[in-house]
Structure 1
Amino acid sequence: MPTTLQDPRTVLCFGDSNTWGFNPDGSGRFPQSTRWPNQLEHALNRTKPALPWRTVEEGLNSRTWLHDDPIGAANYGGDYSCNGRADLMTALHSHKPIDVVILALGCNDCKGYLNLSAAQIAAGARILIHDTRRALNCGPRLQEDMAPQIILMTPPAVLITSQSLAWGFEGAALKSKDVAEHYHRLAAELGVSCFDVQPVAKPSPLDGVHFDAQAQALIAAGLAACIRQNLEQHPNPDN
């Protein structure tokens, strides 16, 4: 068998601080083994598939679907733009070939000062799904002309706390739930998978936005099941 066929299948986890692994106690980033993208890799490889899996962490604090957010970026020295669309194509081409793309954005779009409706936030998801599908030769190995499978992951059901309000999440408790409903409809319309994290894991009451260490494992298990279901629907001899 050619050496190239031994390469693992790739899952690109493209998201915000909850993909990056922000610890809600404010101490920084969770250890690598704790973060859900890395737990997802272990979950997918637990059954010892013919081809192993690898996950790529592409999380960034304060990242949105489409919007620069200088207020959010100021928390990190203003060193970068928060616009997810500006980063996505580079990430796709940096890590191709890619089998699955998890788009896990929308939480930061719920910040009150951005003045976005749930429908407008879902419109941002629509655009990045489109971008993923049109990216040139970023699909699975030997099928690069096909788009990667896409999983649209909902934002957490934001809790209103003193910390979430300080970050600008006024009104986000209701809006984040509305966004999840819009994602379900969008995923059905566009023929992509939707992973609703809200019934699976709650954000920590410490800050109301980020998942704690225990939630990381729940998210990884849920996403692994979602990916396996996709494989059953689109069987491959190397599964």
Structure 2
Amino acid sequence: MHNALNVGDLRIRVTEDCLNGRRTAFDDPYKPGRNALVGISQVIEAQSPLDVVILLLGTNDFQSMHPHSAWHSAAGLASVINAVRTAPTEPGMPVPPILLTAPPQLDDPRGPIGPKFAGGDVASRGLSDAIRQVSEDTGCAFFDANSVTTSSTVDGVHLDADQHEILGRVLTPVVADLL
């Protein structure tokens, strides 16, 4: 995505803060440190000033050890948005616009991670609509990844490499508009 955004004198630096198993606002009982709400303020402070923040969270809220609904996940995301906007950045630093990206709908989790996401395909139904509502309520931009891709054809949960490529290409003009 960042190469396509580098036009003329504009040079974009993309900083990723990806973490396997990260949830919106919930702890993982087996892997500590997966709660996005905990620590997001420090990440924003450390990376500021930022021109835009893209949040693509929610899938891991539907691991089988959590009894969450789409509403719970979206409410967790709303908490993350608030933390981004109230991060203790230096005086005068702008609050960046936020792009909420709804992840593709889980589809029959299978393979080695199947048991970890058992029932997640049902529990997560309506997540993109719930995230869209959060975007409206909080004044964030919104993109539904379901409009361009599905979840992994391999495990039914994640994005495969080609799906990441598609999503990056489609998000490029969306991000450009926010810049």
* Equivalent position to 2:73, from 113, 121, 126: 121
Percent identity, aligned pairs only, is: 29
CA drift of 1:110 comes to 1.4
Q: In the alignment, which residue of structure 1 is the partner of 2:41? A: 89
CA pair 176-42 structure 1, distance change in 2 beyond 3 A: farther
Q: Matches of residues 92-107 of structure 1 in structure 2 within 5 Å?
A: 92-107=44-59
In structure 1, runs of 5+ residues without a counterpart are 1-39, 74-79, 232-239
1:69 equivalent to 2:17? Answer no
Cα root mean square deviation, aligned: 1.8
* Equivalent position to 1:191, from 122, 139, 142: 139
How big is each residue's C-alpha offset from its partner over 1:52-83, in whole Å with a ceiling of 9 and x where there is no partner?
11100100011101111123x2xxxxxx4211
1:52 equivalent to 2:11? Answer yes
Q: In proportion to residue count, which structure has more strand?
A: 1
- Corresponding residue SS for 1:153: strand
- TM-score (structure 2 length as normaliser): 0.90
Whether the 8 Å CA contact 2:102–2:144 is kept in 1: the answer is yes
- Corresponding residue SS for 2:38: helix
CA drift of 1:174 comes to 3.3
Opposite residue 62 of structure 1, the aligned amino acid is G
Q: How many residues align?
A: 178
Aligned equivalents of 2:27 and 2:137: distance in 1? 27
Aligned equivalents of 1:99 and 1:87: distance in 2? 20
Runs of 4+ in 1 over 4 A off after TM superposition: none
1:111 equivalent to 2:72? Answer no
CA pair 136-192 structure 1, distance change in 2 beyond 3 A: same
* Equivalent position to 1:203, from 141, 151, 157: 151
Q: In the alignment, which residue of structure 1 is the partner of 2:95? A: 147
Whether the 8 Å CA contact 1:156–1:176 is kept in 2: the answer is no
Whether the 8 Å CA contact 1:66–1:84 is kept in 2: the answer is yes
Aligned equivalents of 2:141 and 2:14: distance in 1? 18
Whether the 8 Å CA contact 2:44–2:89 is kept in 1: the answer is no
How big is each residue's C-alpha offset from its partner over 1:99-125, in whole Å with a ceiling of 9 and x where there is no partner?
111111110001232111111111111
Opposite residue 44 of structure 2, the aligned amino acid is L
Whether the 8 Å CA contact 2:106–2:156 is kept in 1: the answer is yes
- TM-score (structure 1 length as normaliser): 0.69
In structure 2, runs of 5+ residues without a counterpart are none
- Corresponding residue SS for 1:112: coil
Whether the 8 Å CA contact 1:138–1:148 is kept in 2: the answer is no
How big is each residue's C-alpha offset from its partner over 1:158-201, in whole Å with a ceiling of 9 and x where there is no partner?
1113334222x222223334111101111012111111111212
* Equivalent position to 1:227, from 170, 175, 178: 175
- Corresponding residue SS for 2:20: coil
CA drift of 1:138 comes to 6.6
